[in-house]
Amino acid sequence: MSGSTYGKLFRITTWGESHGSGVGAVIDGCPAGLPLNETDIQKFLDRRKPGQSKYTTKRNESDTVEILSGIFEGMTTGTPISVLVRNQDQRSRDYGNIATLYRPGHADYPFTEKYGIRDYRGGGRSSGRETIGRVAAGAVASKLLNELGVRVCAYTKSVGPYTVPTEEYRYSEIPENSLYMPNNAVAEQAGEYISSLMAEKDSCGGIVECIADGLPVGLGEPVFDKLDALLAQAVMSIGAVKGVEIGDGFSASASRGSINNDPFYMDHGAVCKRSNHAGGTLGGMSDGSRLILRAAIKPTSSISRTQQTVNTSGEDTDITVLGRHDPVIVPRAVVVVESMTAITLADLLLQNMGAKMEHIRKIYLQ
């Protein structure tokens, strides 16, 4: 059915397949009066573009965005912002052999069962190209958040077994290595690991971490639409993500209350916390400290090794997935996680506008 829309007030709808005419998104509900142009969006898209390092697919797609609506004289007008990216280097011949085979780890089998029909040219709707719409929307959400002093930043915490421990983070190094890790030395080791996997026609996954600073207190709705719950949906809805955690996450399950509770104290008139095991949320609402989330990303499913599978006629067979695939999608997923986080925060910022009569009087009675 209709599951291509995300968000309640800041609401995005993505569309498009890997081998159709293009992909895009409609961003509805962006407030009027936000300065915005194509460069703002292109900068985000360039971060997920293929072909940027030896660890990403060699497909050549410029992914140039066109804004079709919603902007007038460099400002948002409050009407839907429609963005379009044409597909280019499709080479659909590479995918001919998968028309009748179900690729392990891919959506081919449930897609066929669910719809009775499948666009077998590449991943179709389940392709990573679907994230282009998300990233374009994330650029808009980030622009909005920046205006309010909120900064969202994602990076690669681990690649396969290579992890940067929190105490060794050097944020300034993130843009210095092609894996977007906050530590160049670990990134170099991870890069060698990826190279060895490529030689073995294998692939790996990793963990993306995302932080947000400057959030007002109280974002998130206390029951089903908790800040952490919506972030979990947003991030888990990205193709290869298999787990999401906030703050100490799974580690918290082995901790104790006396350690895990973050004590409050006053600092220059502000309520602060002495630790941040919670990762910035209490009761599903932002608590004024840094938001921290992590997404577990599985190894790329497309590997060139021969694998066992079945075909659409229900026979056992082998498959060798051709085409040019990323040995690890983690570095390209960084901006997608950052985008989904920004979109969720922008939506909750808008939802929070009417939380109390004091806000409402401030807008309507003056």
Residue 247 DSSP symbol: T
Residue selected from 153, 198, 252, 322 as contacting a copy of itself according to rule CB under 8 A: 252
Residue selected from 48, 49, 59, 118 as contacting a copy of itself according to rule CB under 8 A: 118
- Give the residue among 143, 114, 126, 166 at the shortest CA–CA distance from 23: 126
CB atoms closer than 10 angstroms to residue 203: 23
Residue 35 DSSP symbol: B
Give the full edge-to-edge strand order of the sheet including 22-28: 5-6, 11-16, 22-28, 81-86, 65-67
CB atoms closer than 10 angstroms to residue 93: 10
> Interface with a copy of itself includes 125 (CB under 8 A)?
yes
> Interface with a copy of itself includes 224 (CB under 8 A)?
yes
- Give the residue among 303, 274, 314 at the shortest CA–CA distance from 112: 314
Residues 17-36, one symbol each (x = binds a copy of itself by CB under 8 A, - = not), give: x--xxxxx-x-xx-xxxx--
| DSSP output for 64-77 | -EEE-SSEETTEE-
Residue selected from 148, 151, 170, 195 as contacting a copy of itself according to rule CB under 8 A: 148
Instruction: Please report how close the Cβ of residue 85 comes to a copy of itself at its closest, in angstroms.
Output: 10
Closest CB to a copy of itself among residues 85, 174: 85
Instruction: Please report how close the Cβ of residue 43 comes to a copy of itself at its closest, in angstroms.
Output: 21
> Interface with a copy of itself includes 5 (CB under 8 A)?
yes
Residue selected from 53, 62, 79, 146 as contacting a copy of itself according to rule CB under 8 A: 79
> Interface with a copy of itself includes 359 (CB under 8 A)?
yes
Residue selected from 58, 92, 100, 149 as contacting a copy of itself according to rule CB under 8 A: 149
CB atoms closer than 10 angstroms to residue 96: 11
> Interface with a copy of itself includes 68 (CB under 8 A)?
yes
Which stretch in 57-65, 89-97, 179-187, 228-236 sits in contact with a copy of itself by CB under 8 A? 228-236
Cα–Cα distances (Å) from 166 to 57, 106, 161, 181, in that order, read: 29, 33, 15, 11
Cα pseudo-dihedral 215, 221, 224, 230, rounded to 10: -20
Which class for 324: exposed (0-12), middle (13-18), buried (19 or more C-beta within 10 A)?
A: middle
> Interface with a copy of itself includes 151 (CB under 8 A)?
no
Which stretch in 57-65, 68-76, 166-174, 331-339 sits in contact with a copy of itself by CB under 8 A? 68-76
Please state the φ and ψ torsions of residue 330, each to the nearest 5 degrees: -50, -50
For the segment 258-317, give every residue that binds a copy of itself (CB under 8 A). 258-266, 269, 271, 274, 278-279, 281-288, 296-303, 305, 307-310, 314-316
Residue selected from 41, 45, 65, 84 as contacting a copy of itself according to rule CB under 8 A: 84
> Interface with a copy of itself includes 161 (CB under 8 A)?
yes
Q: How many residues bind a copy of itself (CB under 8 A)?
A: 170
Residue 143, C-beta contacts closer than 8 angstroms, at least 6 positions apart: 34, 35, 36, 40
Residue 341's identity, in one-letter code, is T
Residue selected from 39, 167, 199, 223 as contacting a copy of itself according to rule CB under 8 A: 223
Cα–Cα distances (Å) from 13 to 55, 186, 249, in that order, read: 30, 37, 30
> Interface with a copy of itself includes 91 (CB under 8 A)?
no
> Interface with a copy of itself includes 15 (CB under 8 A)?
yes
Instruction: Please report how close the Cβ of residue 9 comes to a copy of itself at its closest, in angstroms.
Output: 5
- Helix, strand or coil for residue 244? strand
Cα–Cα distances (Å) from 197 to 202, 208, 291, in that order, read: 5, 20, 33
> Interface with a copy of itself includes 41 (CB under 8 A)?
no
Closest CB to a copy of itself among residues 60, 306: 306
> Interface with a copy of itself includes 232 (CB under 8 A)?
yes
Residue selected from 44, 245, 291, 345 as contacting a copy of itself according to rule CB under 8 A: 245
Residue 188's identity, in one-letter code, is E
Instruction: Please report how close the Cβ of residue 345 comes to a copy of itself at its closest, in angstroms.
Output: 12
Residue selected from 45, 187, 197, 334 as contacting a copy of itself according to rule CB under 8 A: 197
